[in-house]
Amino acid sequence: MKRLHAILAVVGLALGLSGTVLAEQTEPSQTLFINVNVFDGVNEKLIRNANVLVEGNLIKTVSAKPLNVPGAAVIDGKGGTLMPGFIENHAHLMLPGPSLPAMEAGATWEDLAIHGTQMAEMYLMQGFTTVRDAGGANAGLRRAIDSGSILGPRFYPSAAFLGTRGGHADFANYTSPPGEDTNFGRLNLAQEVDSVADMHKFGRNNFRMGATQLKYMQSGGVVSAFDPWQLLAGSPEEIEAAVQVANEYGSYVMAHSYRKEAIITALEAGVKSIEHGFAFDCDIAELMKEKGAYITTNLTAFDPGLLDIPAVKNVPASLAKAKSASATFAGYVDNMKRCPAKRGFHTDCVGSVAACNIQIAYEKHLNNSFFGPYASLVAMTSVGGEIAAMTGDFMNPYLDGKLGVIEEGAYADILILDGNPLEDFSVVGSGDKWFDAEPRPDSPETIRLIMKDGVIYKNTLAP
Ligand SMILES: [Zn+2]
C-alpha cells in the first residue's frame, strides 16, 4: 500500500493535479472529514454537519458528533456535500472509434491501450470511482489501474461482446464469411456466437480473459450495419446458456435488450441487468422486481437532437430506424416514473475522450431533467453498487466493502461537492449541451475532492 501511495504521488505530480494530497502515512492511514453534509447514496435526507473517518481503504465512522482522532489527517469540507463516488454502469473504455468499421480495419493493441488509459483517467477525474465496461475491455486495463500504474476507477470489464451473426456484435466486413477470423475477434472485443456450444466456449473464454460478468447482444441498433433495432437475437436456450456460464463463475449476464419481447425473454432466462431497455413498462417493472433484476439506460437515446447527428441524418436507413425507435420508446420516462425500477447510470459513449467527457456530463443532466436530483443521485451511487455486487464472490475484484454508499465498513470512495446537489444538481458536473457543447474541463471545479480506496486523487479544499 505504501508503494502504491508513492507511485500515485509521482503520477499526481506529473499530472499537476492541483492540491493533491498523497502523503505517505504509517498503516493504517486515517483521514477525518469534518464540516460536511453527507448524502449516503440511499436516503434523501442529508446527515447535517457530519464527521466521516476513513481508515485505510474503508469508512470507519460516520457521525453527527465530533470525533477525536489524534494522528488523523483532517480535511475541512467547508459545509460541502460528502457523497459516494459516482458509478458508471455502461461504458466502453476500449472502443476508440472513429467508427466500428475503421476499428475492424485498423485498430491495434496500442490504440486500445492508449485510449483505455486516457478514458480511465478522465472517468476518475469526473468523479467516477467505479466503472462497469459493457463490452470490449479484458483484464489488462483493470490490472494497470489496480496496481497503481495508471489512474482510473475500479473497473468491471465484460471482455468480448457476445452476439449472433448479423447481430449487434457482428463488426465483420460486409463480404466476410460466417466464422471468419476478425480483428474484433483477435482482440477479444467481440465474438460471434450462434449456438449453445458457442455460448459455452466464448462465455468461458471471456471469464478467462478477465471478464467480471458477461454481455450479450440480444437486440440490434440504430446506426449499426446489419441489425434492425427490433432484432430478437438468440434463442431462450442460448441466453440460458450465457446465464449458466456466468453462474458457473458466480456472476451474471447483462443483455442489450430493446423490445418488450426481448426484455421479457432475457429476464425469464435469468439475465440480471437489462441494458438500454427502451420498451420498459409496468409489466417489465413487475417482472424485474420478481427476478431481482436491474435496468440501466442511456437517456441520451431520448434526445430529439439525435435525429440531427450526421451518422443518423445522412444515412436514410439509420434515419428511418431512429424515427421508428423513438416512436416506440416514447413511453420510457413516464413508465419509469409510474413504476420505478432499480435503474443505474449509463452513458454508453464510443469515441474520443473529449466527446465522452461531454456525453457523460449531458447524461447526468438528462437524469436530473427526467427524474429529478434524488433519483439521479441514487442511480449514480447505491444502485450502481448493488449491480457491482452481483459479480459475486469469485469474480468481484473488490470484496473488502460495499460500493456506492457512505456507511461504516463501505469502501472509502468519496466525493466532496460544493453545495447541495439535491438543490442544485449542476454541482455534480452536469452539462446541458451535447453536440454543440464546448470542451469540458479535466475535472469539474465543483467536485472539490475525489478519493478512491482511501487515496486522494484531487483536493482543492484549502488545508
Ligand atoms: Zn454499449
CA atoms of 384 and 406, how far apart (whole Å)? 13
Average of pLDDT values for 252-270? 97
What are the tens digits of pLDDT across the range 47-77?
Answer: 999 999 999 999 999 999 999 999 999 999 9
Instruction: Kindly list the distances between the CA atom of residue 257 and the CA atoms of 216, 361, 459, in Å, as whole numbers in the listed order.
Output: 9, 24, 40
CA atoms of 231 and 177, how far apart (whole Å)? 21
- % of the chain exceeding 70 in pLDDT: 94
- Could you tell me which CATH number the domain at 86-395 has? 3.20.20.140
Average of pLDDT values for 404-411? 98
The CA 114 to ligand 1 mean position distance, Å, reads: 20
The CA 38 to ligand 1 mean position distance, Å, reads: 32
Largest CA distance in the chain: 70
Average of pLDDT values for 437-455? 96
The CA 354 to ligand 1 mean position distance, Å, reads: 18
Assign 3-state DSSP to the chain and report helix, strand, coil percentages, each to 5.
35, 20, 45
Is residue 106 predicted with pLDDT exceeding 50? Answer: yes
Q: Quote the mean pLDDT of the chain.
A: 92
The CA 32 to ligand 1 mean position distance, Å, reads: 38
Average of pLDDT values for 299-317? 83
Range of lowest pLDDT (78-92, 164-178, 300-314): 300-314
Q: Which of 459, 416, 417, 450 lies closest to 19 in space, CA to CA?
A: 459
The distance from CA 287 to its chain's CA centroid, rounded to whole angstroms, is 24
Is residue 407 predicted with pLDDT exceeding 60? Answer: yes
Q: In this predicted structure, what is the pLDDT of residue 221?
A: 85
The distance from CA 170 to its chain's CA centroid, rounded to whole angstroms, is 23
The distance from CA 102 to its chain's CA centroid, rounded to whole angstroms, is 25
Quote the cell numbers at residue 323: 424515427
The CA 159 to ligand 1 mean position distance, Å, reads: 12
The CA 268 to ligand 1 mean position distance, Å, reads: 22
Give residue limits of the domains in the chain: 2-85+404-459, 86-395
The CA 35 to ligand 1 mean position distance, Å, reads: 39
Continuous segment of H or E residues that includes residue 360: helix 353-380
Q: In this predicted structure, what is the pLDDT of residue 27?
A: 66
CA atoms of 156 and 397, how far apart (whole Å)? 8
What are the tens digits of pLDDT across the range 13-52?
Answer: 344 444 444 555 456 899 999 999 999 999 999 999 999 9
What are the tens digits of pLDDT across the range 143-168?
Answer: 999 999 999 999 999 999 999 999 99
The CA 21 to ligand 1 mean position distance, Å, reads: 35
The CA 254 to ligand 1 mean position distance, Å, reads: 11
Q: In this predicted structure, what is the pLDDT of residue 224?
A: 75
Instruction: Classify domain 2-85+404-459 at the CATH class level.
Output: mainly beta
The CA 218 to ligand 1 mean position distance, Å, reads: 12
Name every residue whose Cβ is closer than 8 Å to that of residue 438 and which is 6 or more positions away in sequence.
none
The CA 176 to ligand 1 mean position distance, Å, reads: 24
The CA 2 to ligand 1 mean position distance, Å, reads: 37
Is residue 270 predicted with pLDDT exceeding 60? Answer: yes
4 DSSP assignment? H
The CA 253 to ligand 1 mean position distance, Å, reads: 14
The CA 91 to ligand 1 mean position distance, Å, reads: 6
- Phi, psi dihedral angles at 446 (to 5 degrees): -75, -10
